[in-house]
């Protein structure tokens, strides 16, 4: 995540108007934070002297990381939102190589750092922050926006103690719902993700955001996560069961609302409206109003979205490169951790086979081709995938088989190879898998 807060290492007394590069009417200062694809800089309007945070994104890195849609979604989402508990987007500037998002400057810190340095909060302080979180998230829902990555690191607290929700890169809009009225993209952060997302059967964006808010409330009042384990498979099982310990020293009201929020069944989980009616929540509650400029139009430079114009060489390089995935996606695709097995029966002869290797992507592809070369299978390469085909005279007759082999990059030195059957004879598929696993030195039963 790209942080918008000052960060302790910069110090509160450092001059905020240090001279720097000019970007239109803005003068850029120090770096506030850095992420995988850009930086956040302190900036000041040279006319009004108003401070801002400018998120500068490199277009080439967006292409390399394949996150074009994520950046578009973040900009499109922030354009819709005008609320005191949501970080505000003012305008989007662009050049041929950069996208610059002019954002509200928050003079505070991440909620994560607040808890890490102070520990748990008393119920009065924790409740006030939770009330602001619910105000901000429910406002987003009223505008058709579902955050899908609510966590301590994505919540800022300014110098006056006001909460600000940020980082909408994984948010969902109504057009992303399928015909069943549900979302189906698995995303979020392991300790905060709702159990229905893990079940991979579709989920309600509002209900899953409520769950994540409940995790934050638990941390605010206890100082630690409700679901945590070094073994990710065990962690996900705890999440799926809603298996967390409720400290007895919490008040009855606090224990009750947490229990109603961290209900593993989304059908019976408390809603945003229900939270607002809860007696513990209502104590000292004053609902925040949307900003007066709620309908103000946000200027977006058209060049910000002209990031799909790849050269032929770039397209070729991307098509031949392995797909890059993060740890959360790896957890979801791993057969030993995927919780869909708790809900579905799977024919072992039909399953996907996966194993990890330290071979480079290029060496991997060559080794796979060499392994198949002395068999009756034909090999085709396209879009970073290998298609292995064996057919009889007539397509898809007994004995025919079509297999896709794909390589996923976890890091520069770690790759996951996935073998999956498209159609064909299960016994022939097992024989091919056995040969590939043997050639790669993968012990049987260890993939």
Write out pLDDT tens, residues 50-72: 999 998 988 887 777 677 777 88
Residue 287 lies in a domain: no
Q: Is the pLDDT of residue 74 over 50?
A: yes
Estimate the share of the chain in helix, then strand, then coil, as percent rounded to the nearest 5. 35, 20, 40
88 and 140, same domain (yes or no) = no
pLDDT in tens, 325-354: 554 455 445 444 443 433 333 444 456 777
- Mean pLDDT for 288-307 is 68
418-427: long-range pairs with CB below 8 Å, 24+ = 418/333, 418/352, 418/353, 418/354, 419/352, 419/353, 419/354, 420/352, 420/353, 421/350, 423/396, 424/390, 424/396, 424/399, 424/400, 425/398, 425/399, 425/400, 425/401, 426/347, 426/349, 426/350, 427/349
pLDDT in tens, 33-50: 776 667 889 999 998 999
Domain termination site, one of 282, 304, 326: 282
CATH number, domain containing residue 249: 1.10.510.10
How high is the pLDDT of residue 148?
Answer: 81
The alpha helices in 81-122, defined as continuous H runs, are: 111-118
- Mean pLDDT for 355-359 is 76
How high is the pLDDT of residue 281?
Answer: 97
CATH number, domain containing residue 429: 3.30.310.80
Residue 336, class by beta-carbon neighbours within 10 Å (0-12 exposed, 13-18 middle, 19+ buried)? Answer: exposed
318 and 411, same domain (yes or no) = yes
How high is the pLDDT of residue 194?
Answer: 87
Residue 352 lies in a domain: yes
What is the layout of strands, in order, in the sheet containing 108-110? 108-110, 155-158, 163-165
Residue 267 lies in a domain: yes
What is the tally of structural domains in the chain?
Answer: 3
60 and 90, same domain (yes or no) = yes
pTM for the model: 0.65
Nearest to 137 by CA among 190, 81, 74: 81
Measured CA to CA, the distance from residue 261 to residue 390 in angstroms comes to: 52
Q: Is the pLDDT of residue 161 over 70?
A: yes
Supply the mean pLDDT for the chain.
Answer: 77
Are the C-beta atoms of residues 133 and 92 closer than 8 Å to each other? no
- Mean pLDDT for 260-274 is 95
Look-up: residue for tokens 């500068």?
Answer: 56
Nearest to 269 by CA among 212, 342, 189: 212
Q: Is the pLDDT of residue 355 over 80?
A: no
Measured CA to CA, the distance from residue 40 to residue 34 in angstroms comes to: 6
Q: Is the pLDDT of residue 168 over 80?
A: no
State yes or no: 55 annotated in a binding site.
yes
pLDDT in tens, 114-139: 888 888 999 999 999 999 999 999 99
Helix (H, G, I), strand (E, B) or coil at 258: helix
How high is the pLDDT of residue 35?
Answer: 67
Give the H or E element holding residue 206.
helix 205-222
Q: Is the pLDDT of residue 180 over 70?
A: no
Q: What is the DSSP string of 14-61?
A: S-TT----EETTEEEEEEEEE-SSEEEEEEEETTT--EEEEEEEEHHH
Q: Is the pLDDT of residue 359 over 70?
A: yes
223 and 353, same domain (yes or no) = no
Residue 229 lies in a domain: yes
239 and 277, same domain (yes or no) = yes
174 and 263, same domain (yes or no) = yes
Residue 179, class by beta-carbon neighbours within 10 Å (0-12 exposed, 13-18 middle, 19+ buried)? Answer: exposed
How high is the pLDDT of residue 63?
Answer: 74
Nearest to 368 by CA among 339, 357, 227, 183: 357
163 and 263, same domain (yes or no) = yes
Cβ contacts of residue 376 below 8 Å, gap of 6+?
Answer: 390
How high is the pLDDT of residue 383?
Answer: 60
Q: Which residues are catalytic?
A: 149
Domain termination site, one of 282, 303, 329: 282
User: In whole angstroms, how large is the CA radius of gyration of the chain?
Assistant: 25
> Residue 71, CB half-sphere, CA atoms under 13 Å: how many?
29
Domain carrying residue 410: 313-439
Residue 293 lies in a domain: no
- Mean pLDDT lowest among 126-140, 184-198, 386-400: 386-400
Two structure tokens written together for 368:
């796979």
pLDDT in tens, 82-111: 899 999 999 998 888 888 999 999 887 788
How high is the pLDDT of residue 136?
Answer: 94
146 and 209, same domain (yes or no) = yes
Residue 304 lies in a domain: no
Q: Is the pLDDT of residue 418 over 70?
A: yes
How high is the pLDDT of residue 348?
Answer: 43
145 and 254, same domain (yes or no) = yes
146 and 60, same domain (yes or no) = no
Measured CA to CA, the distance from residue 379 to residue 373 in angstroms comes to: 8
Domain termination site, one of 106, 136, 160: 106
- Mean pLDDT lowest among 1-5, 232-236, 402-406: 1-5
How high is the pLDDT of residue 311?
Answer: 43
What is the layout of strands, in order, in the sheet containing 89-94? 22-23, 26-34, 38-45, 51-58, 98-104, 89-94, 299-300
Residue 113 lies in a domain: yes
Taking CA atoms, 373 is separated from 366, 376, 389, 422, 432, in Å, by 10, 8, 12, 20, 12
Q: Is the pLDDT of residue 396 over 50?
A: no
Helices 205-222 and 111-118: angle between axes, nearest 10 degrees: 20
CATH number, domain containing residue 17: 3.30.200.20
171 and 59, same domain (yes or no) = no
93 and 122, same domain (yes or no) = no
Residue 374 lies in a domain: yes
Q: Is the pLDDT of residue 232 over 70?
A: yes
Measured CA to CA, the distance from residue 176 to residue 184 in angstroms comes to: 9
Measured CA to CA, the distance from residue 39 to residue 32 in angstroms comes to: 8
- Mean pLDDT for 228-237 is 83
């Amino acid at each position: 995540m790209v942080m918008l807060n000052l960060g302790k290492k910069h110090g509160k007394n450092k001059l905020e108007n240090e001279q720097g590069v000019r970007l239109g009417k803005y003068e850029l200062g120090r770096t506030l934070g850095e992420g995988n694809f850009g930086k956040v800089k302190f900036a000041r309007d040279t006319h009004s002297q108003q401070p801002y945070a400018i998120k500068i994104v490199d277009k080439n890195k967006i292409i390399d990381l394949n996150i074009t849609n994520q950046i578009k979604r973040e900009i499109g989402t922030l354009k819709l939102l005008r609320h005191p508990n949501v970080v505000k987007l003012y305008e989007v500037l662009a050049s041929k190589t950069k996208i610059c998002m002019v954002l509200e400057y928050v003079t505070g810190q991440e909620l994560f750092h607040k808890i890490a340095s102070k520990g748990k909060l008393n119920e009065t302080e924790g409740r006030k922050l939770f009330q602001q979180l619910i105000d901000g998230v429910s406002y987003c829902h009223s505008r058709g926006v579902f955050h899908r990555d609510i966590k301590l690191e994505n919540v800022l607290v300014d110098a006056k103690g006001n909460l600000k929700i940020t980082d909408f890169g994984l948010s969902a809009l109504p057009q992303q719902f399928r015909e069943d009225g549900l979302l189906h993209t698995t995303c979020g952060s392991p300790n905060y993700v709702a159990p229905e997302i893990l079940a991979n059967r579709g989920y309600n964006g509002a209900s899953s955001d409520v769950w994540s808010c409940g995790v934050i409330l638990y941390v605010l009042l206890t100082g630690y996560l409700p679901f945590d384990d070094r073994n990710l498979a065990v962690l996900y099982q705890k999440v799926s069961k809603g298996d967390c310990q409720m400290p007895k020293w919490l008040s009855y009201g606090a224990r009750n609302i947490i229990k109603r929020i961290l209900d593993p069944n989304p059908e019976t989980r408390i809603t945003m409206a229900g939270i607002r009616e809860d007696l513990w929540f209502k104590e000292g509650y004053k609902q925040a109003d949307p900003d007066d400029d709620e309908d103000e139009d946000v200027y977006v430079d058209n060049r910000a979205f002209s990031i799909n114009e790849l050269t032929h060489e770039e397209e070729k390089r991307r098509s031949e490169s392995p797909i890059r995935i993060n740890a959360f996606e790896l957890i979801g695709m791993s057969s030993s951790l995927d919780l869909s097995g708790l809900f579905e029966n799977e024919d072992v002869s039909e399953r996907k086979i996966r194993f990890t290797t330290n071979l480079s992507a290029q060496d991997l592809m060559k080794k796979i081709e060499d392994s198949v070369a002395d068999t009756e299978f034909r090999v085709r390469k396209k879009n970073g995938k290998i298609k292995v085909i064996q057919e009889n005279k007539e397509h898809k007759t007994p004995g025919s088989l079509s297999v896709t082999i794909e390589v996923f990059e976890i890091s520069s030195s770690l790759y996951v190879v996935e073998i999956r059957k498209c159609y064909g004879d299960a016994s022939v598929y097992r024989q091919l898998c056995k040969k590939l696993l043997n050639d790669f030195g993968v012990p049987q039963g260890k993939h």
